[in-house]
Amino acid sequence: MMTTTREACERLDLNDPLAGLRELFVLPAGVIYLDGNSLGALPRDAAARVRRVVEDEWGHGLIRSWNTAGWIGLPQRVGDKIARLVGAGAGELVVADATSVNLFKVLNVALDLTRMAGSERNMILTERNNFPTDLYIAESIARARGVELRRVNADAIPAQLDRRVAVLMLTHVNYRDGRTHDMAAINRAAHAAGALVVWDLSHSAGAVPVDLNGSGNEDEAADFAVGCGYKYLNGGPGAPAFVWAHPRHTATMDALHLRQPLSGWLGHAAPFDFAPDYRPANGIARFMCGTAPIVSLAALECGVDTLLAAEPLGGIAALRAKSLALTELFIALVDARCDGRGLVLQTPREQRLRGSQVSYAHAEGAYAIMQALIARGVIGDFRAPDILRFGVAPLYTRFTDIWDAVENLRQVLDNGEWRDARFGRRAAVT
């Protein structure tokens, strides 16, 4: 697709069947927001919902609201909603803790299941450019358990799946370049090699179709998955994360009384018995640990509901189609209007390999260029050492937003304003 005028983009917006979903969000005037892959926009219902939780449920209901307002069931209720977005079943996914904490849990369980099956496999295999916190968690587990952590380039993964690999750990959409893995094909290859697969869905849940259960084909189903709530799920800064395990694994854990390593009280089979000894809950509930952050969970539910509002309009498939159209337009416009200005596309041109973002490298001034854009009201982000990232959230990103963002990018590059010293000063968060 090549749209040559802003007027053509306006027509695309007028004919967009998802356009009305933008009204579900609070979006500041004069801002083009292309950073939903880092922090989703504020759902319009979230402030009132949080106020109700704080003022009414907490303020008046006090501790009674664990029962009367249903606080105790929020992790499962919101989990069931997220499950609809990632190809999981009801009762299979729960909201709990942070992504890094959940990854620690499932990696340890995956290694335990491998060991209990009598395997001597002793390697966690991952992508070299995986999200750093995932690498840090895997490194700490490998060090504590005496297993090897092997980092390889993405293209080398199939050849590395041998009898040494216990667990393959991957992020579905790479945070830097937006490259998407073929989940079903990788699950199939890993299982054929005797390995389990752990997926991080932080950059795909809510924007890219995910089929954790493999449409019932166990060879193509994932084994474990984690993901955060504050990117495309629009749950707000620091929103709690989610964790999923295939039912065959939770059934095995139930049968063997196998624990995840963080045996917190809400993962107990009867937390309000206050028994001195731990007895894990059945199913996915055993992956809970600490007390649920109710205020944040309420905000996350509002965010997830914005995505479920797309179901009558085609759901995640319709969101994916619009996302691809938006990123295709962005790439085409940069090709046409910013050629020769030092931008090097990092995101795959092939649509099936592309997530919901477009990334460019700029060797000389990526950070400063992004700061100059932000000063103009075009908000993307920078990733070291030289990446400009532009995320599209099809719930609220318009085709005219893409046109205007690229026009501002062209102007920033052409007039050299990014060379102003103020844009080169690094803030704590980039």
Please list the active-site residues.
131, 200, 230-231, 389
For 197, 236, 264, the CA distances from 154, given in Å and listed in that order, are: 15, 31, 35
Phi and psi at residue 170, to the nearest 5°: -140, 155
Q: CA neighbours within 13 Å on the CB side: how many for 119?
A: 21
Place of tokens 């085709």: 399
Let me know if 247 is exposed, middle or buried by CB neighbors in 10 A (0-12, 13-18, 19+).
middle
Amino acid at 63: I
Measured between alpha carbons, how far is 319 from 93 in angstroms, rounded to an integer?
A: 22
Q: Note the residue count of the chain.
A: 430
Q: CB neighbours of 403 closer than 8 A, spacing ≥ 6? A: 3, 6, 9, 329, 333
* CA proximity to 113, closest of 225, 289, 245: 245
Amino acid at 357: Q
85 CA to centre of own chain: 12
Q: CA neighbours within 13 Å on the CB side: how many for 269?
A: 11
Prior bond to 385 cis, omega within 30? Answer: yes
* CA proximity to 233, closest of 213, 214, 208, 197: 208
* CA proximity to 255, closest of 120, 113, 107: 113
Measured between alpha carbons, how far is 178 from 217 in angstroms, rounded to an integer?
A: 27
Q: CB neighbours of 167 closer than 8 A, spacing ≥ 6? A: 107, 110, 111, 114, 123, 124, 125, 195, 196, 197, 198
User: 242-245 and 93-95: which strand pairing?
Assistant: antiparallel
